[in-house]
Structure 1
């Protein structure tokens, strides 16, 4: 009897081992395991619910809720968590509160589509089909691929897959064929055999793809696709060209480039094809990589190993205003992300905005009449700043105050309606030099219709009246993509716009020269510089809000209830103590910088001088009297390159000299 039990135990053990071997053979070969009923019906139903996400399917696409069971939150904290800290990084919850996920429910977008159709009803079917090709791709493209004609906003209202926005399958089923060569929503999908592409399982990946569960449960075959990390994957929707119509809705035969974020990236030092060493793709910024030991990609399979590098599906951009509006109208809009998830996306978006710009300001010189302030902005994004939809703008505010805090000069302020003070009736021109408070530097794109009049109607836009948005590093007029991303109406006299101090093009920067009237004031001046950002400015809304559709009226109510306070991208503050720059010749003193000794030499001193101080451009004291030898003082500097202010003090006044240190 004991011998028989031993044989049975060995038989069961052998069977288990053979089953395990068979499972791994099936995994390695990519075939579907026989034991595909791993989950109970209750578990599968729970996964399918996806916390409200779309779970339906059409001919070629499935909703994000279908993906959430394995790639969403794992209650066991095994999958979709970091290895070093256990942080939940599941792609579903990161994605669901982004503008990508909510693209089809965006109330601004819905209002604008209705506005375009209201003004050009003859082309309603074409307009709605074009707009939904990127905002509701799984609804529109399924209808297109099955030969059923144009997709409408009316259909979208009844289509849960269309309402799933830019969802998982919409990106991961895109074809590598002609990637980066199709725009305006003309996307290419691999529909044969239902592949889903990802970055793992490539020729240099020693671990094969465990694809059997996805194939069995979802109906897609996961495959390696190098193009999933190619910037061209984003080109189809982030370059938008529209057919121009006149004010009567008649086609003119022209094509207008409304958005060219991908082409701006092509014409930059971020282009990975032209600059493989220093370049970075769209995904490199907007799906930041986790720098640890990797992430297990699927729940419920405890033998899976972490994959690396893992791109977090943050999709952070710059639209904090709309994200706040979505968060505050979750129920009204029927959204499937909660406030906490929206707050996470908003915080990431704010961080990305702040990292998109470098700001510097300095007092060049002063006299009793004028303060000369230079403000330098450097774009660190891989495209123009701002970029994307043409409503977006950024502007510079300069405020000079006296020692008591009273305003001496202000340019670029905004009022209680969130509009820039002094904004011209139509549009504010680009400035190289600003001399008046009603002049403000606004970085934006302004469009005109066939008559040359400013418009915000996308279908009527035929030319740019202005495009002074900050170019990315490496942007040049000679690049092959310049025709779709050209600079408009920046005067040739502004020689430092996208040019460095040597005149070399592609600096990605601009210097605004302020000549601020001082009215005889000679005391210390506080210099405050702010860079503000708006994605939905009130002046841009005026044309649409002058019309009425249910979508416009609904959005107007949300807009009026929203806090449209501009977002502060960057700011800097310093105090200029040069007291209107007195002439040292009057004191008989000479100040110069000695590069060989890295020191400042002040000569011609006498008994009237009681102190010497050296300040940097931010007003911080960096050195004092130093060593005095008779009538000469030697002040060690140990400085970085920049402008320094030397203050020579007597009992009754201070004398000031600026010294420039170059490295």
Structure 2
């Protein structure tokens, strides 16, 4: 059931918050327990968890405008014009909320089970541990040996996805040391981020105890990356082509370990997963409705849970009714807009440089990429990939085009004919494409998209985060694999030191362009579900879940998202740029004193903003000059964004 009707508010725009729902979870001073007033969210309970509809009673939208609005005060005052940041409505259009209803996940589980039917019970049990945890762990709590996909799809609480209780009931004992969906939970206790400070307003346990019989308690782990570890580090058992176990395991994903092996897990750049995916605001927010004596809390975590899977979000948005989703199209549009903002502005830095001389007859375009994420890019599910598209044209005629893709299918041209593309340091022909990806291989060394058949990583050149080093304690689960290991420009500075979080790709300029005026354009694309990955699964017919996904996928082209762009116009008679799209430089960078000079090679910097590692504005201004001197306030990482581009700045510890 959809929460908003056709006359609902417009979708969230950049810089704004989610639209306010029309139908309320509250009635005046009372609380409605009817699920049809909760937008289809379940409000029942099983052996361990309540449904999110029960949480919505207090933590959903407040019709009296006294809760879930930034800038609230005590005693309470209504803020009818305030932005609604209630956690339930922001969460319900996330991938986490829809993890059980994700049509690709359902079809992929069937793909794995149909390939090795005798493993079905174990496969479905493992997959539901993170995609349908409310049903899975309740069943195991009551003594079940396995929990099936069918049980999940017919259980209203399992269909609640990764709901409020799954995160807030995680047992802090041993958290961050359990992986592959091996979570443990407490009973009748809800952990939150408030109440731990000596002078902090204490946790008010009476409302929750009276309403649902659970006891709210401060949990330090709620704001820590460790709470994400169990599902975002997955190791799978490997089988051969006949389905026999090989006694080997393979890393399916290790996003949490990638964060550990980065500059963001400790030190001046430290930021938790929640810092990007549950971003905090400093404005005080009253977190529960219906209790006039509650004081507002600060900081407040916006339950956005954004990532990069805009393709699935759009598929869900376009099929709200047929997939029986609780979020509205407007709410999905809000999450899509936030995801695009993250992909476009917080993912990758792109710079172009020209090397060589026309006189020597040898010139190159150097594409410098820097990963701004706190983990590998791409990360997570191994289907995800990013690639560089680079064109060189003169007089309107394209002479060189690497990384072209077909807008009718979302496929990279020429890639359907090859098993997989190796990593490149130098690209000499436009048939070569720089693709950042994880390629899984079976026991014969052939690429596979079957997770259970994965025996080894054939290639992993995904861009590593700042501070990544090979000999880290989690280096075995985050290793770079393949020819990227021999690339002197991959995660290495000019002195050969690891940890830049970047890569430089060198493109040889065709000899026929020497002496010409050339337009060079670089675009970096990200794709969460490439056609090549799903093709083997879609060859299977007669299974309702695979057939259902095929219909959705064929109607919805997996168009990639652009995460970075750079361009320059150069006169290859000399090496002087004629009209370069601004190539930023910063010196010194890193800076030990915090003093940095920003230079744009050919254009004024214009309006600019300096953001800290949490995305908070530190400074801003405007200039008609092409140079600017900045003082970075504290040790750590910053993003300098002008109307013409973005560059990362680092103030090192002195």
Match status 1:60 vs 2:56? no
The worse-fitting range, judged by mean Cα deviation, of 513-522 and 74-83 is 513-522
SS of the counterpart of 2:386?
strand
| Structure 2 residue ranges without an equivalent (≥5) | 1-25, 73-80, 577-586, 588-598, 606-624, 630-654
Equivalent runs, 1:98-497 vs 2, <5 Å: 98-191=94-187, 194-272=188-266, 275=267, 277-292=268-283, 294-354=284-344, 355-367=346-358, 370-402=362-394, 404-415=395-406, 416-423=408-415, 425-497=418-490
The worse-fitting range, judged by mean Cα deviation, of 367-376 and 510-519 is 367-376
| Residue pair 1:431, 1:512 contacting (<8 A) in 2 also | yes
| Residue pair 1:183, 1:239 contacting (<8 A) in 2 also | yes
Question: How far did residue 49 of structure 1 move?
Answer: 3.5
Distance 1:296 1:218 in 2: 19
Distance 1:40 1:296 in 2: 17
Distance 1:579 1:495 in 2: 29
Q: Which residue of 2 aligns with 1:11?
A: none
Cα–Cα, structure 1 residues 56 and 516, in superposed 2: closer, same or farther, change >3 Å? same
| Correspondent of 1:533 among 526, 534, 554 | 526
Write the deviation string for residues 361-412 of structure 1: whole angstroms up to 9, x where unpaired.
Answer: 112235385541000110011100000000000000111111x221121111
Distance 1:296 1:42 in 2: 18
Write the deviation string for residues 9-64 of structure 1: whole angstroms up to 9, x where unpaired.
Answer: xxxxxxxxxxxxxxxxxxxxxxxxxxxxx989974335884121111110111100
Distance 1:639 1:203 in 2: 44
| Residue pair 1:575, 1:618 contacting (<8 A) in 2 also | no
Cα–Cα, structure 1 residues 205 and 113, in superposed 2: closer, same or farther, change >3 Å? farther
Distance 1:103 1:120 in 2: 23
Distance 1:169 1:491 in 2: 41
| Residue pair 2:35, 2:41 contacting (<8 A) in 1 also | no
Distance 1:241 1:121 in 2: 20
| Residue pair 2:604, 2:626 contacting (<8 A) in 1 also | no
SS of the counterpart of 1:333?
coil
Distance 1:440 1:71 in 2: 48
Q: Which residue of 2 aligns with 1:75?
A: 63
Distance 2:396 2:574 in 1: 18
Q: Which residue of 1 aligns with 2:494?
A: 501
Write the deviation string for residues 576-616 of structure 1: whole angstroms up to 9, x where unpaired.
Answer: 1342559xxxxxxxxxxxx9xxxxxxxxxxxxxxxxxxxx9
Write the deviation string for residues 51-80 of structure 1: whole angstroms up to 9, x where unpaired.
Answer: 211111101111000011110111111100
Write the deviation string for residues 146-186 of structure 1: whole angstroms up to 9, x where unpaired.
Answer: 11221001111210010000000010000110010000000
Question: How far did residue 115 of structure 1 move?
Answer: 0.1
Q: Which residue of 1 aligns with 2:596?
A: none
Distance 2:109 2:121 in 1: 11
| Residue pair 2:514, 2:572 contacting (<8 A) in 1 also | no
Q: Which residue of 2 aligns with 1:19?
A: none
SS of the counterpart of 1:454?
coil
Cα–Cα, structure 1 residues 47 and 546, in superposed 2: closer, same or farther, change >3 Å? closer
SS of the counterpart of 1:483?
coil
Distance 2:287 2:409 in 1: 47
Write the deviation string for residues 406-443 of structure 1: whole angstroms up to 9, x where unpaired.
Answer: 11211111123221123251000000000101000000
Distance 1:396 1:617 in 2: 23
Distance 1:252 1:446 in 2: 19
Q: Which residue of 2 aligns with 1:626?
A: none
Q: Output the TM-score relative to the length of structure 2.
A: 0.81
Cα–Cα, structure 1 residues 147 and 47, in superposed 2: closer, same or farther, change >3 Å? closer
> Larger Cα Rg: Structure 1 or Structure 2?
1
Write the deviation string for residues 439-478 of structure 1: whole angstroms up to 9, x where unpaired.
Answer: 0000000000111111000001010000000001111111
Match status 1:542 vs 2:535? yes
Distance 1:395 1:228 in 2: 35
Distance 2:243 2:378 in 1: 30
SS of the counterpart of 1:174?
coil
| Correspondent of 1:44 among 13, 24, 32 | 32
Distance 2:627 2:70 in 1: 43
Q: Output the TM-score relative to the length of structure 1.
A: 0.80
Q: Which residue of 2 aligns with 1:12?
A: none
Cα–Cα, structure 1 residues 74 and 450, in superposed 2: closer, same or farther, change >3 Å? same
SS of the counterpart of 2:565?
strand
Aligned residue pairs total 551
Cα–Cα, structure 1 residues 297 and 437, in superposed 2: closer, same or farther, change >3 Å? same
Q: Which has the higher helix share?
A: 1
Distance 1:540 1:40 in 2: 51
Distance 1:227 1:581 in 2: 54
Write the deviation string for residues 79-134 of structure 1: whole angstroms up to 9, x where unpaired.
Answer: 00111772110000100000000000000100100000000101100000000000
The worse-fitting range, judged by mean Cα deviation, of 495-504 and 342-351 is 495-504
Cα–Cα, structure 1 residues 221 and 639, in superposed 2: closer, same or farther, change >3 Å? closer
SS of the counterpart of 2:389?
strand
SS of the counterpart of 2:191?
strand
Cα–Cα, structure 1 residues 380 and 476, in superposed 2: closer, same or farther, change >3 Å? same
The worse-fitting range, judged by mean Cα deviation, of 544-553 and 97-106 is 544-553
SS of the counterpart of 1:458?
coil
Cα–Cα, structure 1 residues 45 and 617, in superposed 2: closer, same or farther, change >3 Å? closer
SS of the counterpart of 1:375?
strand
SS of the counterpart of 1:510?
strand
Distance 2:627 2:197 in 1: 52
| Residue pair 1:195, 1:223 contacting (<8 A) in 2 also | yes
SS of the counterpart of 2:487?
coil
Distance 2:253 2:575 in 1: 47
Question: How far did residue 490 of structure 1 move?
Answer: 2.5
